[in-house]
């Protein structure tokens, strides 16, 4: 080991810095205090009612005469500071990984869509929550509340060039003017997986496996979360039993889905005003309370598609190995107009949160856009409820900011050398934070905060020998390394 000072010795010495020496009588002061993050100035900006705010302070950063802006994002929306952004990226990475494992391809769409894509007449909540407006060219546009219509649009656009089945996934932001509750906000990100061109229950079975794989990757167990499954064909069969016209089907589904949010009397009133008899309403409610497939079979018989498809799905679930995650629940109808067959949603078994994800089959959406139908099935999985659940179960991962190396020149004249060392390490794929204008004590604290594994000090005497001083921050070992041997 050379006789040059150790890092411990350096800690009590100032970094040689010509500007600092010129501008300050204290050799321990960093030379660029004006570059430091200053929380107090942020407080001045964010606290419009601060009694100590002088006119000069108030005018300072925002310019004379400007009023202080509200630093909060619009109600119901979120900023993503680094910690939250790391969590979001981690979640999306898991979404992507599961999609890859299931052999899905990623697609994307504009958040701004044409309003016509989302105009549906069934009275769904989602269409009443649209962020819609006219753009400067007089076109009616929306911030999309969901992604399924955009997927359908792209499938139609691709036309015959698309080779079916299409297995697509996407992750994107959706906007709904919602009443906010836990996990429900005015913007959220949704992971969607959709299959176009498969009419068999295989599609649903694949999608549910994706959801289960995601839960398992996140550490969630089937004792924490279940997936309720039913089919809109159950309701369709009940409507047939009471000779309710086919054209009322979608509206009936949307109304029935509100049960739980509105009272039974309110629901009954809505159905009766649609032309459904009280006797039929009672029949619908009775069937929707069923929680076992064998009971459903007793009521509807075993011949219909509702029962046979559900039975097939439950038998596939056994083969996939996720049968303990799913349960039949006839009350699952889902609130979107376009579903036609099997529908499902994931819920926390403690019943504290809203649906974690939801999806189903929508074989007739394309014809509502004026083209031939293609069987389709998919789900949307939000980013907000799942994070609430992970918090609840103490399953949030440790995602602190991590870098490999900190490179710190001890003298301003060595800034160029430090740059080239940082650059060559980065080219090798190491993450490097190049730090300047700080005291060594700060650098050590910083290294701890960002979990750096090495501190590389570029000092004059080592540099003269073509070397740097390296401290391994986990073992606390310290040694001199030739620059061309650094990796």
Q: Binder to ligand HAM among 229, 300, 333, 356 (CB under 6 A)?
A: 356
Nearest approach, Cβ of 183 to ligand HAM (angstroms)?
A: 6
Nearer to ligand HAM, 355 or 406 (CB): 355
Q: Binder to ligand HAM among 205, 287, 374, 385 (CB under 6 A)?
A: 385
Nearer to ligand HAM, 175 or 328 (CB): 175
Nearest approach, Cβ of 217 to ligand HAM (angstroms)?
A: 17
Angle formed by the axes of helices 249-256 and 264-274, to 10°? Answer: 170
Q: Binder to ligand HAM among 210, 276, 357, 389 (CB under 6 A)?
A: 357
Nearest approach, Cβ of 148 to ligand HAM (angstroms)?
A: 4
173 is known to lie in a ligand binding site:
no
Q: Binder to ligand HAM among 115, 146, 404, 478 (CB under 6 A)?
A: 146
Nearest approach, Cβ of 127 to ligand HAM (angstroms)?
A: 11
Report whether the peptide linkage leading into residue 462 is cis, meaning its omega lies within 30 degrees of zero: no
Nearest approach, Cβ of 247 to ligand HAM (angstroms)?
A: 23
Phi, psi of 141, deg, nearest 5: -130, 165
Q: Is 382 in the site for ligand HAM (CB under 6 A)?
A: yes
320 is known to lie in a ligand binding site:
no
411 is known to lie in a ligand binding site:
no
The candidate with the shortest Cα–Cα distance to 90, out of 474, 430, 402, is 402
Q: Which of the ranges 51-59, 95-103, 382-390, 463-471 carries the binding residues for ligand HAM, by CB under 6 A? A: 382-390
Q: Is 355 in the site for ligand HAM (CB under 6 A)?
A: yes
Q: Is 378 in the site for ligand HAM (CB under 6 A)?
A: yes
Q: Binder to ligand HAM among 127, 148, 209, 251 (CB under 6 A)?
A: 148
Question: What span, in angstroms and rounded, lies between the C-alpha atoms of 118 and 150?
Answer: 9
Q: Do you know the residue count of the chain?
A: 487
Q: Binder to ligand HAM among 380, 421, 462, 486 (CB under 6 A)?
A: 380
Question: What span, in angstroms and rounded, lies between the C-alpha atoms of 99 and 106?
Answer: 8
The set of residues, in sequence order, having a beta carbon less than 8 Å from that of 221 and lying 6+ positions away, is 215
Task: Say if CB 362 and CB 122 are below 8 A apart.
Answer: no
Question: What span, in angstroms and rounded, lies between the C-alpha atoms of 228 and 325?
Answer: 9
Residues 159-198 that bind ligand HAM (CB under 6 A): 176, 178, 183-185, 188, 190, 192, 194
186 is known to lie in a ligand binding site:
no
Question: What span, in angstroms and rounded, lies between the C-alpha atoms of 1 and 3?
Answer: 7
Q: Write out the binding residues.
A: 146-148, 176, 190, 194, 334, 338-339
| Sequence ranges of the binding site for L-histidine | 146-148, 176, 190, 194, 334, 338-339
| Interface positions with ligand HAM (CB under 6 A) | 146, 148, 176, 178, 183-185, 188, 190, 192, 194, 336, 355-359, 378-382, 384-385
């Amino acid at each position: 080991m050379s006789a040059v000072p150790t890092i411990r010795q350096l800690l009590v010495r100032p970094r040689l810095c010509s500007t600092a020496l010129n501008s300050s009588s204290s050799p321990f002061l960093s030379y660029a205090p004006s570059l430091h993050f200053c929380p107090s100035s942020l407080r001045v900006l964010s606290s419009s009612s601060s009694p100590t705010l002088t006119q000069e302070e108030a005018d300072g950063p925002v310019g004379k005469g400007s009023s202080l802006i509200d630093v909060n994002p619009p109600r119901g929306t979120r900023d993503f500071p680094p910690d939250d952004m790391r969590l979001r990226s981690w979640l999306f990475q898991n979404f992507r990984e599961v999609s890859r494992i299931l052999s899905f391809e990623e697609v994307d769409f504009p958040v701004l869509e044409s309003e016509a894509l989302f105009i549906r007449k069934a009275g769904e909540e989602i269409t009443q929550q649209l962020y819609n407006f006219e753009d400067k060219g007089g076109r009616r546009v929306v911030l999309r509340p969901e992604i399924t219509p955009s997927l359908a649009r792209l499938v139609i656009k691709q036309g015959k060039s698309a080779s079916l089945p299409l297995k697509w996934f996407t992750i994107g932001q959706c906007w709904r003017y919602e009443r906010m509750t836990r996990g429900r906000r005015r913007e959220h990100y949704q992971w969607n997986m959709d299959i176009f061109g498969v009419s068999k229950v295989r599609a649903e079975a694949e999608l549910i496996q994706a959801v289960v794989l995601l839960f398992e990757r996140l550490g969630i167990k089937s004792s924490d979360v279940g997936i309720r499954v039913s089919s809109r064909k159950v309701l369709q069969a009940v409507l047939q039993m009471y000779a309710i016209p086919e054209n009322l089907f979608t509206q009936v589904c949307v109304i029935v889905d509100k049960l739980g949010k509105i009272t039974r009397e309110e629901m009954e009133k809505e159905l009766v005003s649609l032309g459904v008899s009280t006797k039929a309403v009672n029949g619908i409610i009775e069937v929707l309370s069923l929680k076992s497939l064998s009971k459903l079979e007793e009521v509807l018989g075993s011949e219909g598609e509702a029962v046979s498809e559900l039975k097939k799905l439950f038998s596939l679930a056994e083969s996939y190995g996720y049968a303990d995650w799913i349960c039949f629940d006839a009350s699952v109808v889902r609130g979107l107009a376009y579903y036609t067959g099997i529908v499902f949603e994931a819920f926390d078994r403690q019943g504290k949160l809203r649906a974690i994800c939801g999806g189903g089959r929508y074989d007739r959406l394309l014809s509502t856009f004026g083209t031939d139908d293609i069987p389709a099935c998919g789900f949307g999985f939000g980013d907000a409820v799942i994070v609430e659940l992970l918090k609840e179960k103490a399953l949030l991962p440790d995602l602190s900011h991590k870098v490999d190396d900190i490179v710190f020149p001890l003298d301003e004249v060595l800034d160029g050398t430090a740059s080239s060392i940082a650059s060559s390490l980065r080219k090798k794929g190491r993450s490097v934070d190049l730090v300047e204008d700080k005291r060594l004590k700060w650098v050590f604290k910083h290294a701890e905060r960002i979990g750096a594994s090495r501190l590389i000090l570029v000092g004059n005497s080592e540099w003269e020998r073509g070397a740097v001083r390296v401290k391994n921050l986990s073992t606390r070992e310290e040694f001199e390394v030739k620059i061309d041997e650094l990796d």
